[in-house]
């Protein structure tokens, strides 16, 4: 399994292999399957690539991507003047 980040695009790729073997008195069967996969996800602007974490447990890949900081517009005070 491979996880890469380039140009704000997170790409997960890997290979899946399986083999099944069956032996009986009069026959011998071997089945093999193979498949490659890749998924790409564009991340929102502002994500810090240094804080992305990946872990694998019991065949499950877990990616943690922290939310980007939200830029709050500064409140501007407007003075209200009394009419003459």
Instruction: State the residue range of the domain holding 57.
Output: 2-64
Six token digits for residue 57:
């447990």
Does 9 fall in a domain?
yes
How does residue 57 score in pLDDT terms, banded at 50, 70 and 90?
very high
Residue 38 bridge partners (DSSP):
13
Q: Is the pLDDT of residue 47 over 90?
A: no
The count of other CB atoms within 10 Å of the CB of residue 75 is 6
CATH number for 22: 2.60.40.790
Residue 53 pLDDT > 80: yes
Q: Is 31 within the bounds of a domain?
A: yes
Tokens found for residue 32: 């093999």
Per the DSSP assignment, residues forming a β-bridge with 5 are 10
For residue 26, being part of any structural domain is answered with: yes
Which residue's entry shows tokens 């380039």?
6
Q: How many domains does the chain have?
A: 1
Within a domain: 48: yes
Decide if 47 is inside a domain. Answer: yes
Q: Is residue 39 part of a domain?
A: yes
pLDDT band at 64 (very low <50, low <70, confident <90, very high): very high
Q: What is the pLDDT at residue 52?
A: 92
Can you tell me the distance from the alpha carbon of 41 to that of 37, in angstroms, rounded to the nearest whole number?
Answer: 14
How do residues 7-20 score in pLDDT, each as one tens digit?
Answer: 889 999 999 899 99
Residues 6+ apart with CB under 8 A from 58: none
């Amino acid at each position: 399994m491979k996880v890469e980040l380039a140009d704000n695009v997170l790409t997960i790729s890997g290979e899946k292999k399986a083999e099944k073997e069956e032996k009986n008195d009069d026959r011998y069967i071997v089945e093999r399957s193979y498949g490659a996969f890749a998924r790409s996800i564009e991340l929102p602007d502002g994500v810090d690539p240094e804080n992305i974490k990946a872990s694998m447990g019991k065949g499950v890949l877990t990616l943690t991507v922290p939310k980007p900081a939200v830029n709050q517009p500064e409140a501007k005070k407007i003075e209200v003047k009394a009419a003459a």
